[in-house]
Amino acid sequence: MPERLRLMAVHAHPDDESSKGAATMVRYVNEGAEVLVVTLTGGERGSILNPAMDRPEIRENIAEVRRDEMAEARRILGVEQEFAGFVDSGLPEGDPPPPLPEGCFALQPLNVAAEPLVRSIRSFRPHVVTTYDEKGGYPHPDHIMCNKVSVEAFEAAGDPDRYPESGQPWQPLKLYYHVSFPRQRFKRIAELMDKRGLENPFADFMERIKERKLTEWEITTQVECDEYFETRDRALIAHATQIDPNSFWFAVPLDIQSEAWPYEDYHLARSLVDTDVPEDDLFAGVRETVET
């Protein structure tokens, strides 16, 4: 039997997998690839962002609720999923911000935080890994730690001398960072909304993004996946404590999203195979080396 292509998506919290790269994953699942989401924390300290779900019984059982939400999103996306077992660090607010909680994910020594991911890589044997950039995509301590752990695991998993108790070595071939908020995408959406006489729901959001002065990574890879935007949205809504279905995220009609920007965007951070950028496939260069 030919070997199947394998993609691993590493995320900090439940719901991150549905807001970053979800349509890409669904596309590859439908094309026959195996896809595994590794969720590093349980999201225990996440705020309830959907007013309809802000009830005492949910607040008291938020860890269990978020696991159930993740299970439903996983089912919708058609992917495999596993938790690494770390505790959410929360998002400290204030000036100066308060210290992070003792024992949380972001305070773990790097080798301790990376070991479960090394084990997962050696077990699942992905050809491609996706994660966040060095600043986490946005400055949440768990997202920043997610990058550190992903880079450590990518570089260590193939080395038999590192993490020797964590399974047989396996070296992934490519590592990507999500490019979640490319300005040109939101500019194009605004233009099409204006043509239809519709208000741009992302105007305030993009101003906040500018104020944060996030790193603008070069888009090296665009995966066309607008056919699966509706599935992505259903998976997002499954995270009911985190996603208000009436929020601005869902205010742009899918046909406008498809016309404006039918892609999900990535930055190629590491590659051990020959590939030419720009790419239209996370497995570019991998397909030629894996007998599929």
CA distance 108 to 122: 21
Residue 238 has pLDDT above 60, yes or no: yes
Find the mean pLDDT for residues 17-32: 98
Residue 44: inside a domain:
yes
pLDDT category of residue 1 using cuts at 50, 70 and 90: low
Residue 197: inside a domain:
no
More confident residue, 76 or 207: 76
Structure tokens at 251: 């205010």
CA distance 48 to 54: 6
Identify the weakest region by mean pLDDT among 102-111, 161-170, 208-217, 253-262: 208-217
Number of domains in the chain: 1
Mean pLDDT, the chain, as a whole number? 95
Residue 112: inside a domain:
yes
224: containing domain: 6-181+217-271
Residue 250: inside a domain:
yes
Whole-model pTM? 0.96
143 is in an annotated binding site: yes
What are 84-98's pLDDT values in tens digits? 999 999 999 888 889
Rg (CA), the chain: 19
Residue 232: inside a domain:
yes
Residue 283: inside a domain:
no
Residue 196: inside a domain:
no
Structure tokens at 105: 């994910």
267 is in an annotated binding site: no
CATH number reported for the structural domain that contains residue 236 in this entry: 3.40.50.10320
13 is in an annotated binding site: yes
The per-residue pLDDT for 292 is: 52
Residue 63: inside a domain:
yes
Query: Position of tokens 């972001």?
Result: 106
Q: Which residues contact 12 (CB under 8 A, 6 or more apart)?
A: 39, 40, 41, 105, 132, 136, 140, 142, 143, 145, 146
